[in-house]
Structure 1
Amino acid sequence: MKRSNWMMGIALSVMAVTAACNKPATSQNAAPAAEATESFEVVTYAEGLEQPWGMAFLPDGRLLVTEKAGRLQVISKDGKPKLVSGTPAVANDGQGGLLGVAVDPDFAQNQYIYLSFSEPGEGGVAGTSVARAKLSGQVLTDLKVIWQQSPKVKSNNHWGSRIVFAPDGKLFITTGDRASFREKAQDLTYTFGKVIRINSDGTIPQDNPFVGRSDAKPEIWSYGHRNMQGAAINPATGKLWTNEHGAQGGDEINAPEAGKNYGWPVITWGVDYSGARIGEGTTKSGMEQPVHYWNPSIAPSGMLFYTGDAFPTWKGDLFIGSLKFQYLNHIKLDGTKVVSETKLLEDEAERIRDVVQGPDGLIYVAYDSGDGRIVRLQPK
């Protein structure tokens, strides 16, 4: 979500949004707040970064961090960042830049990492792309673009883009609707507003839901999404979960399933920034409801299912960053039902762009405003 957009969102009152939506300004699964069940302290792990966007740990404990402007840093265990060379050229424009990062499950054998980014094209167009490269020390080699959003268009907003490995080794990619092209989230001949599923070499899994259809891109897994900036595998099920930005209200958590339509922009729990209604309402036959939504919007970002031992009572819980309200949202779940939401790190007053779990079982959080920092939550 653009900074100007969420500032406009703050200016619009919840009362106005409620009236426009004709529904109460609460989440779909209105969840009570809860006290933090673990005592923790916040420690700076790395600093001096410029708009960190994505994070992923290497098997040896070093941390890869993308910076929106196009740089990739590798941070040693003592928190010292070192620049990695060989990254792809990016369209550092609006919300675009160097975005998500993932490490191959077989990294120890193949040294592959994956980067999602806004790839520039001729005539000012650009699109979300994913590249694979080998990491050797601080150098990327054999870089190859393995997937490209199509077509490239003139828009600097709503790129997605997280990349997540499923337990079966398939790669999920989240994309945005590119803002001005939101109706294409319903068009299966476009890869805007879709979850993409590919093999790690860029080929198409033959069990994808639209393989063999002439009216659909075979890499599409699910559709009808707006701008997914968070994605994680739920360890309880092995299934993908995502979050996405709504417009004014209607930010969502989804558990996208093969071939299903998640509604945008035909149905939504939000309204346009002008207060105008979007689409046909909040429900429609053949379109899925979110696991959870927020109204007003929180501008969700990176997301993590916690599986570590450092915070035992948090095992299985979901953590999502809020860019707009600058907190880490701790979510207790009962299956797919949100039981409670607790705001952590409010006193830090920083835009949270990503959250990951380290090999040490601690939680690492990227602040993309001010002096870009990575902090970690550790037991007191």
Structure 2
Amino acid sequence: MAEVTLKDVRKVYKSQNEEVLAVKDLSLEIRDGEFMCFLGPSGCGKTSTLRMIVGLEEITNGEIYIGDRIVNDLTPQERNVAMSFETYALYTHLTVKENLLFPLKARGLNKSDQQRRLRKVVDMLEIKDILDRSPSSLSGGQQQRVSLGRALIRQPDVFLLDEPLSHLDVSLRISTRSRIKRLHNQLSTTMIYVTHDQLEAISLADRIAVMNFAELQQVGTREELLDRPKNIFVADFIGEPPINFVNCKLDKNDDKFVLRFKNSHYTIELPEKLEKVIKKEYIEDVILGIRPHDILFREKKGYVGLENGTVEIFEFLGEENHVTVNIGGESITVVTDAKDYFKEGEKVDLYLSQDKIHLFDPETEECLTTRYKNQGLI
């Protein structure tokens, strides 16, 4: 096992006379034995970062350490890392067993150690019954397990996975996701996992590094990203269903600060501790953010009310329901229990958790409430 440290890592691709910045000055520490996910949309730089760590891409600037060794100029084999690819990358002319043993034979490992490692990986991944088959005869899930096995059999210090579930159907994704999590718990190997799927990242990772437009936006646990997003992008990218945003203007009503919806005269009274944020920032425009799980249809202490809403859409989803409510000209999504039922056109009141209200600066897109929470001011 080993920690991975990136210091001001930059990757620029050159195409004819054009330069494309893929990763911008990324600094990040991945702890020994940690399960870290790189999460972001296509083209954000997450796969380029993974390929630089494994040694398949040259680093334009910066330094990468695995343990206490700088590995910028080392080959993938010298770094003692292993990677499972999105496309599985199996040798089609070899059997499953031969695919698994290939990296060990290339290293010149003796036959007894080869067989010992083979048995361990085969038992771990439950692939004993397919050892003599060719990769082309396997299902997508079986090919993915063989790809994982070929990486694991090397006993790497760092195990990297690039979108390993993207070609699997829903049921196989769930089972393979659970298998990967069990593998990490068993091996305690440092794992770095690339995905664009927030559900995968949230369910698997100890911490998540959110990237966009070649930059690291925020790194943190699931709870930190949900409750203390750094900016609008992180708040919007993490969470299902997505966070509700309402563009507001700051007004005063009887010496109390209120937020007036920009699309109407509807106002919401600010809790006292959020007034501190507004007073310190002196801003007139603000974006209100509230997650669908942090809204109730019943009054409760610590919640602020929004009255006279109308149900627009009711979605029954089995374990929970999603309700879209028009209130003050804005459509707000609410998550409710499966037993709750609402008719379209029904009049309802909403109650927002005061502790979970987020305020964003529309110019910088920074989350002001997160900044003040991190400073211990609210």
Comparing both structures, which one devotes a greater share of its residues to strand?
1
Q: Same fold (TM over 0.5)?
A: no
Comparing both structures, which one devotes a greater share of its residues to helix?
2
TM class by shorter-chain length? under 0.3
Say which one has the larger Rg.
Answer: 2
Q: TM-score, normalised by structure 1?
A: 0.24
